[in-house]
Amino acid sequence: MPTFFRFLICLVLTLITSNGYAQKKHEPEAALDSLLSPGQMIADLDTLYKVILDTHQNPFFFCSKAELERVYKTTRRECNTPMPLIDFSAKIAGLMGTLQDSHSYLQYKSLLAKYGTEGLYYGFGVKAIKGELFISQDVEDLIPVGAKLVSINGLKSTVVFNKVNQLSVQEGNSLTGRLRISEFLFTRFGGLFTEIADSNKIEFIPHGQDSIEHVWYPGKTSKEWAKTQSKSAKKENVRITFNDTMDVAVLKISSFSAGKDRHYYKALRKAFKELNARGTGHLAIDLRSNTGGKSERMEQLFAYLSTDTICSPTNIIAHQSELSVKRYNANLNRVERWLMHHAPRKSEDLLNYIQMMDLELGQSDTVYYTEGERVKSKQVYKNQSYLLMDGGSASASANFAGTYQMHSLGEIWGEPCLGPVGGTWGNPSDFKLPKSGIVVYISTIRFNNSNEMLKDASPVKPDHRVELDPAYLTKDADIVLEQLLKHISAL
């Protein structure tokens, strides 16, 4: 590996910057403030409930059949009067959230499209710490970083955040992860729940002070907001920095999906070549805010950390449905399918993919992985490694954390991530609700890190939990890395 077809295993929390695999363009039928009738909403709920049961690999993995049915029926009763589309979207998110599957959720990109090009955005980001919101960055430099955000146009900031949080996701009981995804969504979707004007009154309390101050903050157009995002996206996907004094290197991987495969693998080879040439004694692998990507990219990282064969996943459980078939058809044309079936030499990945793709409707099967990724022994880093993660470490990153912990490769520092040790779901397929036009993702495979099929819903927990502190935001300091360096210096 990696083989040509391995990339078709999708393990990424597709947020705003990514739209998943082979997604069709969905034109919004209605504005977010348009009213849906009870008949329209109930019809969509009935359709969605059936599609979940038909499509999801195991909707009762983290919730019982009775619990899912109860939420479905309760939501159905709550739709007895006309409701704005955005509020119904939150109801749909609540039903999907019962699955506790971070790959089955609202398609954020299509929801944002309904906000339209006329909608305005905040130019600042937030961190949720102990029930309050604190400014983590501000492109306008109007609000001091680390300040407590009090209100937006007279509405408490936590009220807006809690509404956005209804659209968020979690994997199992990963509540910290849910908060970190909500922070990401807050900047994008805050305007769905409180009007953002050309000029907005933002109240805040600077760090270390008691009195409330305010600024008039400009609303940013979609083009202006997109420019701020594109600037941050230009950073290298894989980068390594060295602290020779501390004998420590930090390998930051911001995504397992961004950029071209060859660039990723080249950067990884180069990083470990330099790491081994220097003989650096400590390596911190930083997967914070890495929401996932291609599974073979993630698995390749293990090849540089151990001479043992480490497979992640150890198995995949696939379930065939109309939506999974649609996804296979979107990814592969007839010629490519023929080539797959008639390849003279079939790798483990290719054989497993064919086995999943050729399932009959309604059939499930488990395929196993034993080969893993390998590099030459001299390329393997044999000194001490550590893993940095937070609630934004999702999907493939969460699977890396779980496997890293199971194989005792090193200590984990930071926060619980967005997923349990046992694995996650993947290969989500999109489905458009016929009446409202709301688009959702539904997972079609289960990705397991152990052949014991672990079902513990608890997120991967760090060996050393480091709580966020607004004081570190003001200093633009990295509290997690700082505490790890103190730990290493004391060894």
432-470 pLDDT, tens per residue? 999 999 999 999 999 999 999 999 999 999 999 999 999
Q: What is the mean pLDDT of residues 205-212?
A: 96
Instruction: Find, among 252, 248, 276, 274, the residue nearest to 264 by Cα.
Output: 252
58: burial class by Cβ within 10 Å (0-12, 13-18, 19+)? middle
Q: pLDDT tens-digit profile of 266-306? A: 999 999 999 999 999 999 999 999 999 999 999 999 999 99
* 226 and 242 assigned to the same domain: no
User: Could you tell me the CATH number of the domain that includes residue 223?
Assistant: 2.30.42.10
Q: Which domain holds residue 50?
A: 8-115
* 187 and 260 assigned to the same domain: no
Average pLDDT value for the chain = 91
Residue 1 lies in a domain: no
Give 18's contacts (C-beta < 8 A, 6+ positions apart).
Answer: 12, 257
Q: Which of 193, 217, 232 is the last residue of a domain?
A: 232
Residue 456 lies in a domain: yes
* 260 and 369 assigned to the same domain: yes
* 303 and 354 assigned to the same domain: yes
Contact 120, 192 (CB under 8 A): no
* 378 and 396 assigned to the same domain: yes
Write the CA distances from 366 to 353, 433, 447, integer angstroms: 11, 30, 10
CA pair distance 27, 246, nearest whole angstrom: 54
* 268 and 322 assigned to the same domain: yes
Q: Which of 232, 265, 299 is the last residue of a domain?
A: 232
* 215 and 247 assigned to the same domain: no
Rama region for 242: left / alpha / beta (φ>0; ψ in -120 to 50; rest) = beta
* 37 and 185 assigned to the same domain: no
Q: Can you give the pLDDT at residue 188?
A: 86
Q: Can you give the pLDDT at residue 221?
A: 87
* 228 and 265 assigned to the same domain: no
Q: Can you give the pLDDT at residue 112?
A: 81
What count of other Cβ atoms lies within 10 Å of the Cβ of residue 458?
A: 12
* 399 and 270 assigned to the same domain: yes
* 30 and 151 assigned to the same domain: no
Rg (CA), the chain: 23
Number of domains in the chain: 3
Q: Which of 191, 211, 232 is the last residue of a domain?
A: 232
Lowest-pLDDT range of 1-5, 7-11, 31-35, 400-404:
1-5
Q: pLDDT tens-digit profile of 324-348? A: 999 999 988 889 889 888 888 788 9
Residue 2 lies in a domain: no
Beta bridge partners of 35: 84
Write the CA distances from 132 to 47, 129, 141, integer angstroms: 38, 5, 21
Residue 44 lies in a domain: yes
User: Could you tell me the CATH number of the domain that includes residue 343?
Assistant: 3.90.226.10
478's tokens: 């990295």
* 256 and 167 assigned to the same domain: no
